């Protein structure tokens, strides 16, 4: 595998991580120069090194603006460092605190609001109607106007709505807690 040597650290990295030092933003380049005065504007550095300096720059800026870095700011910096989505990181952090009923409510809300659920339910309804009208000659177990089907749909809606509302209420509670943490940090 081809590699290159970073002008910043002198370490060898794969070519896929190579970035020209001239492509680095001025503020981050200034930070690099501050720590490495002999660094010139020519050569290549690795993406890992660039990510490290980006994190250091953001930490410095937040420290100057806020005074100290709180939990919310640290979460943002960690998400950038690990190149993960912030929403995924926040959701994973809250999973450990959930009860089994809350996890179930989240799964039901997630599935109930998906195209998979809508498609599956559409297929179920079409099969129900087709079976009763065409195969059972409209004298089957639920002839037209499909009273049993309406009862089933009503029951599902009556159960699904409060479960989805529980999940939404819990999400609002999490958002309020995050907002409070953000204000206090």
Instruction: Express each pLDDT in 122-157 by its tens digit.
Output: 999 999 999 988 888 888 788 888 999 999 999 999
Q: What is the CA radius of gyration of the chain?
A: 28
Domains of the chain, residue spans: 3-92, 100-184
CA dist., res. 8 & res. 40, Å (int): 9
Look at residue 39 in the predicted model and tell me its pLDDT: 84
DSSP labels for 59-111?
HHHHHHHHSS--HHHHHHHHHHHTT--HHHHHHHHHHTT--HHHHHHHHHHHH
Q: Is 185 helix (H, G, I), strand (E, B) or coil?
A: coil
Look at residue 152 in the predicted model and tell me its pLDDT: 93
Look at residue 58 in the predicted model and tell me its pLDDT: 82
CA angle 30–32–37, rounded 5-degree value: 90
DSSP labels for 33-60?
HHH-TT--S-SEEEHHHHHHHHHHHHHH
DSSP 29: H
Q: How many CB atoms lie within 10 A of CB 45?
A: 25
Q: What are all long-range contacts of 77-85, with beta carbons under 8 Å and residues at least 24 apart?
A: 80/51, 80/54, 80/55, 81/51, 81/52, 81/55, 83/51
Look at residue 174 in the predicted model and tell me its pLDDT: 81
Q: What is the pTM of this model?
A: 0.45
- Sign, CA dihedral 13-18-22-26, equals negative
Look at residue 13 in the predicted model and tell me its pLDDT: 92
Residues of the chain with pLDDT under 50: none
Look at residue 144 in the predicted model and tell me its pLDDT: 87
Look at residue 155 in the predicted model and tell me its pLDDT: 94
Look at residue 149 in the predicted model and tell me its pLDDT: 93
* Mean pLDDT, the chain, whole residue set: 83
């Amino acid at each position: 595998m081809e590699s290159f040597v970073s002008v910043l650290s002198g370490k060898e990295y794969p070519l896929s991580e190579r970035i020209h030092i001239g492509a680095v933003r001025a503020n981050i380049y200034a930070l690099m120069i501050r720590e490495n005065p002999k660094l010139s504007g020519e050569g290549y550095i690795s993406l890992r090194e660039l990510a490290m300096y980006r994190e250091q720059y953001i930490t410095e800026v937040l420290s100057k603006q806020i005074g100290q870095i709180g939990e919310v700011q640290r979460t943002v910096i960690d998400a950038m460092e690990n190149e993960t989505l912030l929403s995924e990181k926040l959701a994973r952090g809250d999973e450990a605190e959930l009860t089994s009923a809350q996890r179930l409510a989240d799964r039901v809300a997630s599935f109930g609001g998906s195209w998979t659920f809508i498609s599956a339910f559409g297929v179920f309804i079409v099969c129900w109607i087709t079976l009763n009208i065409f195969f059972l000659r409209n004298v089957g177990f639920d002839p037209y106007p499909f009273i049993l089907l309406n009862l089933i749909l009503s029951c599902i809606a009556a159960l699904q709505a409060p479960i989805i509302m529980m999940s939404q209420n819990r999400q609002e509670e999490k958002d309020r807690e995050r907002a409070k943490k953000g204000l206090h940090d």
